[in-house]
Structure 1
Amino acid sequence: MKLSKHLVEKPWGREDVPPAFGVVDARRVGEVWYEGSGTESLPLLVKWLFTSEKLSIQVHPNDAQAHERGLDSGKEECWFVVHAEPGAVLGIGTKRPLCADELRQAAISGEIESLMDWKPVSAGDYYYIPAGTVHAIGAGITLVEVQQYADVTYRLFDYGRPRELHLEDGVEVSVAAPYVDQRSGRAVSGRRLADGPYFQLWYADRPDQIRSFDVNGPCLVIPLAGEVIAGQTSGAVGDCLLIENISLLTLSDNAQCLLASPFVS
């Protein structure tokens, strides 16, 4: 099944998002979400993000913290950088550990921006972002985000934009510390990028690699280049496919894709 696209306007979005994503006017689109066609629930949420400015410095709760707040789940995610302009950065973690009071005061004063660990990035970099990680996406970046199916974000700092902040909840769920997660690096074709508690993420650019992936059951396929084919359905950049079994999938010779499986060992 080819999923439908949902375009989300953002103040940090772009007006030059490629037409393949369904943009037909000059809206400032920041995110493209993929949704089912009916009432069926999807196992994961896939997004493309297009940035012209920095996103807010933010944090997501874990499942337990989300349940305490009446939410269905927390949010863990993995980023795969598709394109990055020269000098583009991702803010992941803080340069040093911050206690709750330090984090709160830094967010209020704006000092948090200089306390973030801004990492230079380029196409092919990926980072797994556990719940509690203080993070921000910089300007000039196109990336794919795979995450738990939850829309819960606590903004700590937003560069003076007139949007709501969530300082108390954000500080309470934050682990403000240097980023040390090993589920990050440069993508290697045919390898699993991330193995988290909620999903696995794989990267392939050759047809023969798919068969070696330890994926059981339905998975989401995100084309990055070329064409992916599953039965009678094909997809290219801008599409996202939900397939029942990885054995149904083939790739064109020039294809690159991500595969996200919610079934973990």
Structure 2
Amino acid sequence: MYPLKFKPILKERLWGGTKLKDVLGKAIDSEITGESWELSGVEGAISEVSNGALQGTSINDLIQEQAVTLLGKSVVDRFGKDFPILIKFIDAKQDLSIQLHPNDELARERHNSFGKTEMWYVMDADPGAQLIVGFNKDVEKAEYVKSIETDTLLDLMNYEEVTEGDTFFINTGKIHAIGAGVLLAEIQQTSDITYRVFDFNRKDKSGNLRELHTEMALDAIDYAKKEDFKVNYSKASDSVNTMVDCPYFKTNFLDLANGLNQDVSSRDSFTIYMCVGGEAEIANDWGSTRIKKGETLLIAAESTSISITTNGAKLLEVTI
């Protein structure tokens, strides 16, 4: 199975802007496109191959027909025939809502879904742009409830100013929000379960306030102040630099000037490449595909080697 590209699934959002078009070159007419779902097995938003002989085939159909070939035996043993990762590019022209995600146990009990552990890689940020990640002090549950009732939740938030290359790991229960002016790559468990707790009192295009999930969030929030979110990682050139290695995904940073050859015969997992800078030609045992900034590629688990040719590219490499 040759390296596969997929048709982006574009999502208009109240807070979206034009960076997906202006910075990443997506074919978009809308002025409020907030998300490009690059690789998704989420019901209602299933990715389709956009290149080669398999063009038009959905990721789910490929898995049904060739699960072990595509995903790897260890991945199938753990996740069955569900694609376990959701890959996005996100453009926040305005602040996103303050939110959090439940863990696997709570998500399974309430929604028959996985929880959502995720990570962010900042691709572009306006001067002074910020993320909200966690609380700025240990917070009691009653104090949090009072802040919701008195519209003072922002006073409890921890703000992180960001620049290109900053990376954050957002574990379940951690309250967070992407701030205005940030364009980022997001890697997460396959789940669309979000508990929104504050939305800056904004109204949608119909004049309605968006739904909040105040009660459901109460027993899902981690109220402790923690500093476990900023990822410090090596950026050595032409090397595989581990960024995040968690039970749900492993992400490496590749800053390539001269390309890279890897023996992946023992990986037993698919490999995803998100191009966050430059461009490259990526080949496996059955073919090659070109990828440029803002594009995503899937390499099947059956591949024994991966060869990357480039004159300059920055890639996020994601496996299970």
Match of 2:127, SS?
A: coil
Say if 2:246 is the partner of 1:196: yes
Match of 2:131, SS?
A: strand
**Structure 1 residues 44 and 235, CA gap change in structure 2 (3 angstroms):** same
Q: Name the TM-score, length of structure 2 as normaliser.
A: 0.76
Paired with 2:261 and 2:182, the residues of 1 have a C-alpha distance of: 27
Name which of 247, 256, 263 aligns with 2:314.
Answer: 256
**Deviation of 1:22 (Å):** 3.3
Match of 1:174, SS?
A: coil
Paired with 2:183 and 2:173, the residues of 1 have a C-alpha distance of: 23
Say if 2:270 is the partner of 1:218: yes
Output aligned runs, 1:7-18, within 5 Å: 7-18=10-21
The amino acid of 2:110's aligned partner reads R
* Partner in structure 1 of residue 55 of structure 2: none
Paired with 1:141 and 1:259, the residues of 2 have a C-alpha distance of: 21
Name which of 191, 194, 214 aligns with 1:153.
Answer: 194
- 1:140-165 CA-partner distances (Å, limit 9, x unpaired): 00100000010010001000021000
Match of 1:226, SS?
A: strand
Match of 1:194, SS?
A: strand
* Partner in structure 2 of residue 234 of structure 1: 290
* Partner in structure 2 of residue 144 of structure 1: 185
Name which of 204, 219, 223 aligns with 1:176.
Answer: 223
Q: Which one is further off, 250-259 or 53-62? A: 250-259
**Structure 1 residues 212 and 249, CA gap change in structure 2 (3 angstroms):** closer
**Deviation of 1:182 (Å):** 6.1
Output aligned runs, 1:1-265, within 5 Å: 1-18=4-21, 20-34=24-38, 35=40, 36-37=47-48, 38=58, 39=60, 40=63, 41-161=82-202, 162-181=209-228, 184-185=231-232, 188-189=235-236, 190-206=240-256, 207=258, 211=262, 215-228=267-280, 229-230=282-283, 231-244=287-300, 245=303, 247-262=305-320
**Deviation of 1:243 (Å):** 0.3
Paired with 1:179 and 1:235, the residues of 2 have a C-alpha distance of: 37
**Deviation of 1:247 (Å):** 2.2
The amino acid of 1:89's aligned partner reads Q
**Structure 1 residues 120 and 259, CA gap change in structure 2 (3 angstroms):** same
* Mapped contact 1:125–1:186 kept (Cα < 8 A): no
* Mapped contact 1:59–1:170 kept (Cα < 8 A): yes
**Structure 1 residues 187 and 151, CA gap change in structure 2 (3 angstroms):** farther
**Deviation of 1:11 (Å):** 1.1
Moved over 6 A (4+): none
**Deviation of 1:173 (Å):** 0.2
The amino acid of 2:105's aligned partner reads A
Give the share of equivalent positions with the same residue, in percent. Answer: 32
- 1:72-108 CA-partner distances (Å, limit 9, x unpaired): 2100001001111111111111011112222222123
Q: Which one is further off, 225-234 or 160-169? A: 225-234
**Structure 1 residues 212 and 136, CA gap change in structure 2 (3 angstroms):** farther
**Deviation of 1:232 (Å):** 2.8
The amino acid of 1:30's aligned partner reads G
The amino acid of 2:308's aligned partner reads T
**Deviation of 1:210 (Å):** 5.8
**Structure 1 residues 88 and 183, CA gap change in structure 2 (3 angstroms):** closer
Match of 2:305, SS?
A: helix
Gaps of 5+ in 2: 41-46, 49-57, 64-81, 203-208
**Structure 1 residues 109 and 194, CA gap change in structure 2 (3 angstroms):** same
Paired with 1:125 and 1:208, the residues of 2 have a C-alpha distance of: 23
Paired with 1:149 and 1:21, the residues of 2 have a C-alpha distance of: 25
Gaps of 5+ in 1: none
Note the aligned Cα RMSD (angstroms): 2.1
Higher alpha-carbon Rg? 2
